[in-house]
């Protein structure tokens, strides 16, 4: 993971500029030609890379905490009891299968975990650090069986592992935040309180939330991101022996539910065209697991409502 982080274009390009600005290298940014003036300078620049990586990780942590806090304020607190435990059990297998299919390790953001927010809203969103937030309403009105629960979890795991939200947050960081940090950042390798606040604001703006919880999530995945997340979900369901067409059934219901709310833009970009493409893929038949879901989740949700 470290190699992946250090070699991202965002880090390297930003660093080149910063290191050159400090006079450590004579370099031509256009041609990326770097001429180190001594070995000591190279060591210094490696230290700078490590510091910047630390700062970027702090920025990411602050961003994710801000999104989680705002989601809880906007939608409701995480539920306790048997339902989250059941969902966590399904997620355990789904997470493993997703990591294998997407060839990612279990470190950092790919340690997936789920929380059920106590809201009628059928919201579902994967925070880039691996926290998957599902509204109670999603379990009641969208998900019809265990295969569909596995589908929605795999779909969110795929969005996270493919870094769909990270790409947006990192871009915002680079454009609106990174350049303003200046020497404070270069010397300390730590985000100041002020910059942590700024990181939180930047992240919330990017996903369309506010810190008071008054604004619902206004984030839309791109079409190709949605396709990738749903195709991974199909592969995951097949590998776990679930009915793959439950991905399409879940996505169709989610699409209808999101479209029914005229005041909000859909978060998941689920076109009819995409769903029919998914329907045409060939897979081994599998189970839907309707009974365990009805017994474990729907019945208990019903009990809690009474
Ligand atoms: Zn999606």
Q: What pLDDT was estimated at residue 36? A: 53
- Ligand 1: distance of its center to the CA of 102 in Å? 16
pLDDT score recorded for residue 19: 43
Q: How many angstroms separate the CA atoms of 177 and 181, rounded? A: 7
Cα 260 to middle of ligand 1, angstroms:
17
Q: Residue 123: which of 12, 182, 207 has the closest Cα?
A: 207
Distant-in-sequence, close-in-space partners of 22: CB < 8 Å, separation ≥ 6: 48, 186
* Backbone phi and psi for residue 133, each to the nearest 5 degrees, phi listed first: -110, 125
Q: What's the gap in Å between 266 CA and the centre of ligand 1?
A: 10
What confidence score (pLDDT) does residue 265 get? Answer: 83
Tell me what pLDDT residue 176 has. Answer: 66
CA of 286 to the centre of ligand 1 (A): 23
261: CA distance to ligand 1 center in Å? 17
**Which class for 70: exposed (0-12), middle (13-18), buried (19 or more C-beta within 10 A)?**
buried
Low-confidence ranges of the chain (pLDDT < 50): 1-33, 183
pLDDT in tens, 159-203: 999 999 999 998 887 776 666 665 455 556 677 788 888 889 999
How far is the centre of ligand 1, averaged over its atoms, from the C-alpha of 72 (Å)?
Answer: 20
Distances in Å between the alpha carbon of 260 and those of 50, 98, 122, 218, 263? 48, 30, 11, 16, 9
Please tell me the distance between residue 134's alpha carbon and the centre of ligand 1 in angstroms. 12
Query: Separation of 19 CA from ligand 1 center, angstroms?
Result: 39
Ranges of each domain in the chain: 65-165+214-305
What's the pLDDT score for residue 293?
A: 77
The secondary structure of 82-127 as a DSSP string is HHHHHHHHHHHHHHHHHHHHHT--SSGGGS-EEEEES-SS--EEE-
How much is the pLDDT for 28?
41
Rounded to the nearest angstrom, the distance between the alpha carbon of 161 and the centre of ligand 1 is 12
DSSP letter string, 116-183:
EES-SS--EEE-TTSEEEEEHHHHHHT--SHHHHHHHHHHHHHHHHTTHHHHHHHHHHHHHTGGGTHH
- Using the mean position of ligand 1's atoms as its centre, give its distance from the Cα of residue 246 in Å: 15
Distance (Å) from CA 274 to ligand 1 centroid:
12
pLDDT at residue number 13: 42
């Amino acid at each position: 993971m470290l190699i992946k982080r250090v070699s991202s274009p965002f880090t390297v390009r930003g660093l080149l500029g910063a290191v050159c600005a400090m006079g450590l290298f004579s370099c031509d940014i256009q041609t990326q030609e770097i001429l180190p003036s001594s070995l000591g300078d190279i060591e210094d620049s490696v230290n700078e890379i490590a510091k910047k990586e630390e700062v970027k990780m702090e920025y990411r942590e602050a961003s994710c905490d801000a999104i989680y806090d705002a989601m809880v304020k906007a939608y409701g607190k995480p539920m306790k009891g048997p339902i989250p435990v059941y969902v966590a059990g399904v997620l355990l297998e789904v997470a493993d299968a997703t990591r294998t299919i997407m060839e990612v390790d279990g470190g950092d953001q790919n340690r997936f975990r789920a929380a059920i927010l106590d809201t009628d809203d059928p919201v579902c969103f994967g925070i880039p650090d691996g926290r998957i937030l599902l509204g109670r309403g999603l379990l009641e009105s969208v998900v019809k069986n265990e295969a569909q629960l596995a589908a929605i979890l795999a779909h969110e795991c795929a969005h996270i592992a493919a870094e769909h939200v990270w790409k947006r947050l990192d871009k915002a960081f680079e454009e609106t935040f990174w350049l303003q940090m200046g020497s404070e950042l270069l010397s300390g390798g730590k985000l100041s309180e002020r910059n942590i606040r700024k990181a939180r604001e930047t992240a919330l703006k990017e996903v369309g939330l506010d810190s008071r919880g008054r604004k619902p999530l206004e984030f839309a995945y791109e079409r190709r991101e949605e396709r990738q997340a749903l195709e991974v979900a199909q592969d995951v369901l097949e590998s776990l022996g679930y009915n793959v067409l439950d991905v399409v059934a879940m996505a169709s219901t989610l699409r209808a539910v999101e479209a029914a709310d005229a005041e909000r833009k859909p978060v998941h970009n689920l076109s009819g065209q995409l769903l029919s493409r998914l329907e045409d893929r060939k897979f081994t038949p599998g189970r839907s697991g309707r009974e365990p879901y009805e017994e474990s989740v729907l019945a208990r949700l019903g009990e809690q409502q009474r």
